[in-house]
């Protein structure tokens, strides 16, 4: 079988990892293209040699976060039909039950906007996303917030989201980071909330506050 290696390694595993997830999805892996995104949003597929580097769980400054996403699509030659969607949904319902027994919940589901096949006129889809997570766990704080997330790392993450910050306008407190006078050339006001949600995921923040009158972002940990 195409994914026999999943079975071969399953009995040797001491803890739950991405290969266990693949074991629950063998039929889908054989029939569709499947990508997996770990807690850091790094992507692998079932044939990647670096699959052992896939992280379901990661410790941040004060929390342990557990999350991964499954992306299911057809190969590049065609898109998902409504019949594919029905078949995948049936197969994934079993996978979801298995994962629930391991403590994982389906926290997000996204079927991308439908399109029409130019040849047949039938509705088609590009991909389905299933995101699974566990509740964040508090962990012992072993170093300061500034040591956990130094300014160069903070700046790099925000820069990737088109937000410019300066060290002189950044304050580290016991459980929060305050950033004054941030700037973006590309983000519209209605995009800021979505971007801040993404930043909190990357940095392991529990929540954020945007003081628009003062042009200040506060990240809480």
For residues 160-185, average pLDDT = 95
| DSSP one-letter code for 102 | T
The residue ranking higher by pLDDT, 10 or 204, is 204
Query: Which residues on neighbouring strands pair with residue 179, listed in sequence order?
Result: 170, 217
Contact 168, 181 (CB under 8 A): no
> What average pLDDT does the structure give for the chain?
89
Of 129, 136, 85, nearest to 108 by C-alpha is 129
Share of the chain above pLDDT 70, in %: 94
pLDDT digits (tens, 9 = 90+) for 32-57: 999 999 998 899 987 887 788 899 99
pLDDT of the residue at 146: 96
Query: Which residues on neighbouring strands pair with residue 65, listed in sequence order?
Result: 58
For residues 154-166, average pLDDT = 95
Distance CA(69)–CA(131), nearest Å, equals 4
Rg (CA), the chain: 20
For residues 115-142, average pLDDT = 90
Non-local CB neighbours of 107 within 8 Å, separated by 6+ positions = 67, 131, 132, 133
Domain residue spans in the chain?
4-138, 145-220
Give 189's pLDDT tier (boundaries 50, 70, 90): confident
pLDDT of the residue at 195: 92
- Out of 26-30, 120-124, 214-218, least confident range: 120-124
For residues 196-220, average pLDDT = 91
Contact 23, 7 (CB under 8 A): yes
Distance CA(51)–CA(45), nearest Å, equals 8
Q: Residue 3: pLDDT above 70?
A: no
For residue 106, give Cα distances in angstroms to 18, 86, 208.
15, 18, 24
CA 161 to chain centroid:
16
Distance CA(219)–CA(178), nearest Å, equals 7
The residue ranking higher by pLDDT, 7 or 96, is 96
Give 191's pLDDT tier (boundaries 50, 70, 90): confident
pLDDT digits (tens, 9 = 90+) for 141-158: 999 999 999 999 999 999
pLDDT of the residue at 192: 87
pLDDT of the residue at 8: 43
pLDDT of the residue at 6: 44
Contact 64, 139 (CB under 8 A): yes
Q: Residue 59: pLDDT above 60?
A: yes
């Amino acid at each position: 079988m195409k994914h026999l290696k999943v079975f071969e390694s399953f009995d040797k595993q001491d803890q739950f990892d991405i290969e266990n997830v693949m074991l629950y999805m063998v039929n889908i892996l054989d029939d569709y293209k499947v990508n997996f995104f770990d807690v850091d949003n790094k992507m692998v597929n079932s044939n990647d040699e670096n699959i052992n580097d896939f992280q379901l769980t990661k410790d941040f400054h004060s929390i342990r976060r557990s999350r991964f996403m499954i992306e299911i699509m057809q190969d590049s030659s065609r898109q998902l039909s409504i019949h594919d969607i029905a078949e995948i949904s049936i197969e994934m319902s079993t996978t979801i039950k298995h994962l629930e027994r391991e403590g994982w919940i389906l926290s997000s589901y996204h079927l991308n906007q439908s399109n029409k096949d130019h040849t047949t006129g039938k509705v088609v889809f590009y991909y389905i996303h299933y995101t699974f997570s566990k509740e964040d766990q508090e962990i012992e704080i072993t170093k300061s917030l500034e040591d956990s997330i130094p300014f160069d790392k903070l700046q790099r993450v925000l820069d990737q989201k088109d937000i410019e910050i300066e060290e002189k306008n950044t304050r580290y407190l016991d459980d929060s980071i305050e950033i004054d006078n941030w700037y973006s050339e590309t983000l519209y006001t209605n995009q800021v909330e979505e971007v801040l949600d993404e930043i909190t995921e990357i940095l392991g923040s529990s929540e954020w506050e945007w003081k628009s009158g003062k042009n200040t972002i506060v990240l809480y940990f």
